[in-house]
Amino acid sequence: MMGDAAMEERWRDLEKLLSRPGNIVSPNFEPSDQLREELGEYVRVLVVGAGGLGCELLKDLALSGFKNLDVIDMDTIEVSNLNRQFLFRIHDVGKSKAEVAAKRVMERVSGVNIVPHFCRIEDKDFEFYRDFNIIALGLDSIEARSYINSVACSFLEYDDDDNPCEETIKPMVDGGTEGFKGHARVIMPGVTPCFECTIWLFPPQVKFPLCTLAETPRTAAHCIEYAHLIKWDEVHRGKTFDADNPEHMQWIYSEALKRAELFGIAGVTYSLTQGVVKNIIPAIASTNAIISATCALEAFKIATGCSKTLSNYLTYNGLEGLHTKVTEFVKDPGCLICGPGTLIELETSVTLSELIDMLGEHPKLKISRPSITHQGKNLYMQAPPILVELTRANLPLPVFELVDRAPRSVVHVTGYAENDGKRSSCVRKLRVVFNGVDGGTRGVPS
């Protein structure tokens, strides 16, 4: 444990940042000797992912004065993680990444409390995420980023002039690495572009034609994907492949080796098999450290206001020399995730069936055959028949009850819209406000 003098020395630079005025500070920044203590006491940060970036983020945030941290990760530690996920040791293999990472950081940084969650991000309800002031992402999956982005944006509310309500903005800091390249970005839902606004920044995943896999494999990746996409179903008909099951992965590796030997192809390894099947992006410890430090600094600036935040996307390339660039991307006003959507006012007694009728008559929407979802839950679906039957019972129920009695809620509608006599498929976002409920409003035109 560190002595009092050593502890004061540890926080010296932070306290200088927080106790002095400056020219590039946030408008609401008030320098104070108490800011560091308040940062540790009142700010809660969720770190999503406890891998290469997540380990670095937990360490950096803990050393930046954040004391209330949570970390969520569904994975267990593997031998291949140990070269860059520095919080883990060989005797940790097979254990929860989140639990081990939390324990190691708390052992080294006194005063910090880290709560681990060994589960999928989808296993937590939306209220779990509401409790955090900042969400820091250390993910290697586009799908996982999209999910967390939609969760954070679900808390966003707009006023009657379509301006985001500041108290409902859930800041996110996102980092990503690939070899010697990386990015860090700040997402302020409703203000900066969200993940979906700029999803085109991510290149499409590499896909191999099935005919190549089955007839003319030329690379180790072809052999692995053959075992994964073709051979597995032939041998294990009806059994779902689980990429997180070591026995399943070992079977794919063995079959890929046989395939490679048959065609005289070298390079199939267990590590490569994991990378191809799970779409693992190659990672380097130094890149993780640089991007994590950037993300932790942005989280610190968001929480304290001691400096203006990144605007709003930083790219790093350390392949040949060192190159960094900051790009200010623009928010998509029509984004279905973070955009304002269409405001519609309802009485608490309006049923889902009545809302469906209203959508067809609404002057701005005119949606026919709508399917309606709320926070990923199907309220009513027009197809396929099995979902029609499963959701039919919701039709006579009040919408207010179906959205958990929230005075303001966001629902997404898919259906067909009429424009200039032409009928086309559409997706629309609705901001539903309920009259007479605390937090709702009256007099909002629908």
Q: Which helix (DSSP H) or strand (DSSP E) does residue 28 occupy?
A: none
Positions marked active-site? 211
Closest C-alpha to 155, from 363, 390, 409, 402: 409
Interaxial angle between packed helices 270-277 and 246-263, expressed in degrees from 0 to 180 and rounded to the nearest 10? 110
Closest CA to 291 of 48, 106, 60, 25: 60
CA 213 to mean position of chain CA atoms: 32
Q: Which amino acid is at 293?
A: A
How many helices (H) and strands (E) the chain has is answered by 16, 13
Angle at 153 between CA 148 and CA 159, to 5 degrees: 170
Whether the CB-CB separation of 435 and 399 falls below 8 Å is answered with: no
434 C-beta neighbours (distance < 10 Å), count: 24
CB 92 within 8 A of CB 79: no
Cα(46)–Cα(58) distance, integer angstroms: 9
Alpha-carbon dihedral sign for residues 256, 257, 261, 264:
positive
Q: Which residue has the tokens 């990444």?
A: 97
445 φ, ψ to 5°?
-65, 140
Round to whole Å and give the CA distance between 279 and 341: 34
Residue 184: closest CA among 232, 152, 123, 139: 139
**Segments in 86-219 forming alpha helices (H):** 97-108, 126-130, 142-154, 210-215
Q: Which helix (H) or strand (E) holds 409?
A: strand 408-419
CA distance linking residue 103 with residue 65, whole number of Å: 17
Q: Which of 291, 384, 402, 302 is nearest to 346 (CA)?
A: 402
User: SS3 helix, strand, coil % of the chain, rounded to 5?
Assistant: 40, 20, 40
Rg (CA), the chain: 25
